[in-house]
Amino acid sequence: MIGALDLGVTALDTSTNYLRFRSHEVLARVAGDLLPKFHLSTKVGYFPGISGAEHSLAPERLHSAVEEAARDLGREPDLVFLHNPEHSLTPGTARSREALAEACAALDSATSRGLCSAWGIATWDPTALLPLVDASVPTPSTLMVRAGLLVGAGTLDAAEALMEAWGLGTGAMWGMSPFGGSTKASVWARVDPRVFLRDGGGYSRAQAAFRVAYQLPNVSAVAIGTDEPAHLGELVGALAAVSDEQAVAEYRTLLRDRPRTQSV
């Protein structure tokens, strides 16, 4: 965390279920003096269960989870995400719409009570949420979605449609998982993301993939998981790169055309 601050990184994202549901306690114990220096976000929605982690949108459990997060961290989070609500929803059902609205209302209430400064939604599959959003669902301040070259057209379009449905403005969408799990995945040996930069010659493939993730979809921040200061420094250095917006737009077009091409 000191290395992150030295690099100018001042946002930290975690979740209640990381480190076997001990992430908040561990952060407070090993870096409690540093936490005030970060914009701190966390996630609620997964809970310890008899056979492992279980997901729930029960309003009372979510509200209690936000209370516990503030207590275990030793400070109120700046932002609390509803974690993968689609895990407990069945798209197209009235009960799912109601469950989503109630879960969002629970986080809205927690925010009003001062247990966190704001709330949002972190979703792996925004396509499952889009049909459920209407005026009955409270509006989050931030939406976190998968971002990058490995995200499909449907997910990208659904994320942008959710932003429009909630009336969220520029800067309200964050990205995650820009490498689809790992920079060591075989796909990055086969694909050179530097073609999406105006001058990619001075950057690595990982740097290019990270930089382009900010345009797929358009996000203001990208969450990455790393314990290596050198890797973090490499990615921070990629922010100076300039993406080729035309190349990215053409890629989006190819993604949308792909299902039609495959069906022929």
Identify whether the C-beta of residue 213 lies closer than 8 Å to the C-beta of residue 174.
no
- Rounded to whole angstroms, the Cα distance separating 114 from 106 reads 13
pLDDT of residue 259: 60
Each residue's pLDDT tens digit, 42-76: 999 999 998 889 999 999 999 999 999 999 999 99
Note the Cα 205 to chain centre separation in Å.
22
Mean pLDDT value across residues 140-152: 97
pLDDT of residue 264: 34
Confidence of residue 91 (pLDDT cuts 50, 70, 90): confident
Confidence of residue 203 (pLDDT cuts 50, 70, 90): very high
Identify whether the C-beta of residue 134 lies closer than 8 Å to the C-beta of residue 97.
yes
Residue 140 has pLDDT above 80, yes or no: yes
- Pairing outcome for strands 52-55 and 79-83: unpaired
Question: DSSP states of the chain as a string?
Answer: -HHHHHTT--EEE--TTHHHHTHHHHHHHHHTTTGGGSEEEEEESEEEETTEEEE---HHHHHHHHHHHHHHHTS--SEEEEE-GGGG--TT-HHHHHHHHHHHHHHHHHHHTTSSS-EEEE-S-GGGTGGG-STTSPPPSEEEEE-STTS-HHHHHHHHHHHHHHT--TT-EEEE-TTTT-TTSTHHHH--GGGGBTTGGGS-HHHHHHHHTTBTTB-SEEE---S-HHHHHHHHHHTTS-B-HHHHHHHHHHHHHHHHHHH-
Q: Which of 22-31, 122-131, 221-230 has the lowest mean pLDDT?
A: 221-230
Each residue's pLDDT tens digit, 244-253: 999 999 999 9
Mean pLDDT value across residues 8-29: 96
Each residue's pLDDT tens digit, 158-186: 999 999 999 999 899 999 999 988 888 88
Residue count of the chain, please give it: 264
